Chain A
Amino acid sequence: MNPFSSGTRLRDMIRAIRACKTAAEERAVVRKECAAIRASINENDQEYRHRNLAKLMFIHMLGYPTHFGQMECLKLIASAGFPEKRIGYLGLMLLLDERQEVLMLVTNSLKQDLNHTNQYIVGLALCALGNICSAEMARDLAPEVERLLQFRDPNIRKKAALCSIRIIKKVPDLAENFINPAAALLKEKHHGVLITGVQLCTDLCKVSSEALEHFRKKCTEVLVKTLKDVANSPYAPEYDVGGITDPFLHIRLLRFLRVLGQGDADASDSMNDILAQVATKTESNKNAGNAILYECVETIMSIEDNGGLRVLAINILGRFLANRDNNIRYVALNMLMKAISVDAQAVQRHRATILECVKDSDASIRKRALELVYLLINESNVKPLTKELIDYLEVSDQEFKGDLTAKICSIVEKFSPEKIWYIDQMLKVLSEAGNFVKDEVCHALIVVISNAPDLHGYTVRALYKAFQASSEQESLVRVAVWCIGEYGDMLVKNVGMLDVEDPITVTESDAVDVAEITIKRHTSDLTTKAMALIALLKLSSRFPSCSERIRDIIVQQKGSLVLELQQRSLEFNSILEKHRNIRSALVERMPVLDEATFSGRRAGSVPTTLSPSTMASVKVPNGVVKSAAAPLVDLLDLTSDDAPAPSSSSGDFLNDILGVDLSPASAHSGASQAAKNGTDVLMDILSLGTPPAQSSSSTPDIFSLSQNQKSPVASLDGLSTSSPVSARAASSQAASSIIDLLDGLGPSPPAPENNGPAYPSVVAFESSSLRVMFDFLKSPGNPQITVIKATFTNLSSNVYADFVFQAAVPKFLQLHLDPASGNTLPANSSGTVTQTLRVTNSQHGKKSLVMRIRIAYKINGKDVLEEGQINNFPREL
């Protein structure tokens, strides 16, 4: 006999484990037991096999590995006696899951046991099959289970029914085999069989529309009658729960009726009476009764419309909502969410109660209520509801603030009736729970602020005040610092005073204080500090009187341990000291940020039919790195993750000099003269975002550009100016001017070409091998339509065959492509292919054209693909 296995019984082992005082002791006991069990397994000890497995199950429950016992389960299952099988199947279900290969080995034993003469053994096999079978086993054993649905003993029939559910979930193709036997179960009297039969039918309907049709036609009547019988049955002690006969059966019948009634007027009609009876007669003082009512309400809401019943259902929910039991209130909120789509008005009536639930002490209820409130908000009630929610934000639990803040921000964004309200609410949220506000929300707020020029002064003052009150909220600090950097002068001079404001006196030095505090506070994170540095740079030109102090603060950061800050500090210091004359131009106010671009970007993708793979950066004639990704979100990020490797020489160069993580250069800069390029890229280094149109009007001072570039329209229009100049010129010049910028002042770059006529031709795309020119023609009567003639020229020495040009445009544009003049492009620019495009701009005058293109052709039978984005369309198109 094995010296180990002789020892402990299961009971003794459990006792020994329970007596352990420390985890280490417990581990030791378990290790010893496991060693004994392994030894016993190795000796193939039959006598103690079932005891060993029982011990292993206990050890497994404690969380120790027990895989070595898996084969023991199979051996026990294969043995003849019931006790061995019983423990073997239990072990199988506990120690294995359906993903384990070992499970396949048991299929054969299962098959034998399903055909066993002892019904308890059949029951064990069915139970194991129903709990852990895999798809393959389901396929193999389905015929056995199907047969057992008609077994003489009802206890086997009910097990077989539930086992069938698992089988059809694993292998939906098998569903049709089960339809008829399942329907037969619905006529049974035995509650167990009835419950499981109804459940099987419900699940069959989910996987097979054929089953649904069948049951709807054949069984609706029977089910209604069964439900009637159960609902009206006299006291039955065996099934009684709190004065109701078999609530489980009630609920399953109601659920099945819901499936049958959904989308079928006749079936719905035939169950109206019984639903009304259940809804009115069921006792609601016990949980069981409420469970039935709850299910009944859901069925009423889901089946085809019956006005009277719905009123009844909503009333029940109203009662639930007023209940003092939290469980009942929880399910009421849950159900009201579904009821909103059916009868929003009725749900609105409970708004006040629901709002109270948002403030409940129970997190589950709060969460449900908050989602419900979110659905209830519309234009008419947004103001009072938001106020309530924001008021509550002050006192809510820390862990709830995240959810609550996210919802409030989303509500405010979605429904804000006016900008000032939006800004006000966001400022309140930022001051209350700024640490919970997501970055995108801050970005969105800044875009909105930037788009509300008449509120700049108001906003910056409000932010200043908020900062004084609660400077611990990171997001608030960021927005405040950004705004003070941009609109600091408005803060000091009280520009754009609104009637509602109290005037405040802020000196220039106070404004600088904000940035200084932010930089010096150790809790500020890197992004915030970096933003404060930029704000300081901006303020240095806004407040000449403080520039010395600002320089000092910036210089102090030279010693920062964070590379990013140190680098910025050095760069900015160099700007302040050596390039005083370009400083004012560099730190001009940001152009108005384009809301549409931003929201498009947030929505996850720019509306285009081309795949995202086309988003890679493309070199475009004017030498600026064009990235398909709009740069706005990078506004606040210093190290943009998606910055494409800069491919233009100027970008590379700068990257080398400064080693900065370049954020993608503006996709909007259509400007093409060298000088502006220089500024663009520098701007990007400073993360100031897109090159402002205004800066193009001031750059000439530095670079002595010709005056005609300073068209007033361009400087007012803000973003996405496309100076209509054809210039492939200047990538090298761009680079050179930047070197100059850093070393001293550069020579004046060549003056750009003069503006052409109203719609000059542009080089839409150029690579080393291909050039695309666009000529524009406007149809006189309809300004929205532009006819573009695209001319393709082959710059290489190979002939391009199968030449195909494709284009994609954002949703506000419509594009029509005429057939091209040919599909072969001769080499060495010796011929061209032309193609006509017709673009309709539904936002004519507001937005200019943009287009993404893809050109495919074959060189010597090899496929070549070129892609690019065109942003340099003349603005007026």
Chain B
Amino acid sequence: MAMLSENEHPVKAFGWAARDSSGHLSPFKFSRRAIEEKDVTFKVLYCGICHSDLHNVKNEWGITSYPVIPGHEIVGVVTEVGTKVTKFKVGDKVGIGCMVGSCHSCANCKDNLENYCPKMILTYGTKYYDGTITHGGYSDIMVSDEHFVIKIPDNLPLDGGAPLLCAGITVYSPLKYYGLDKAGMHLGVVGLGGLGHMAVKFAKAMGLKVTIISTSPNKKEEAVDHLGADGFLVSRNIEEMQSAMDTMDGIIDTVSAVHALLPLIGLLKTNGKLVMVGAPEKPLELPVLPLLLGRKIVGGSGIGGIKETQEMIDFAAKHNIVADIEVIPMDYVNTAMERLLKADVKYRFVIDIANSLKPI
């Protein structure tokens, strides 16, 4: 398989891949396609580790095709542009998130909602137009259609900016779509991890009051003193939860484990919105009466389109929003995955690709 990947395309490339459902990552020689007229090639400098990468390498969703090079929070510097590229030039700082292709002709694509295109191509683990499998950002170079490349403003640090490309857009898009972006509103954020801490930062920048809802009391000081949250509720503390009932305009729920919705619905005011951005594998219990009595909703959201991702990056640059990260060398990635599983990171690992990914 390794030989096949190495010879699939003309441009030699190197990365780290998982070869089986143990999820163990190791050095991997492969190849990238030749640049076409609308493509951009860039040298990868940093890549964030998203929890989806962990799900994928371990085949937890049952869709993984090995070997897989994960990574969809990729930033770098343009090294070559195709003849018809208009948006980028060599030397530009750029990024790629979760998608590298879509059909460009359906209603969703035309509405700048490529993330909802039925033929959307993910940055890794999906068949590209030429039938080969896409490989992600735990690698030295990326070649992508310019449509899916995001311009990174000069003042945005690349390492802290990388996680915005998935975690950032995943929380920014629903804040906008569900109208939870108005100054003075009260937003709850369930779960304080990669997604949760980004939600706090964006919401504060939009002028909202933010309360974190967490199972871990020991995250309180961090949340309030460091992230700037206005309040902190321990979800198992019934008194705290009850005193906060009917106080929130919306809640962004980042928790992927199965958990109770009833207490969260109770925190919402009339017309309140509970937005799920984590995706538990099993259905959750939905108590209907509280939805009715308060005209409340439970909605979902998944990443965002390219136009909105660019808008989010520009907003982040304007408001100096970056992820809180722990930069690691490539060969720490397996340890990082183990720590990620235990949520032992504040709040995103970012691989220093440029300085630590060495070809074998």
Verify that A and B bind, or say they do not: no
- Show the binding face of B for A, using Cβ within 8 Å: none
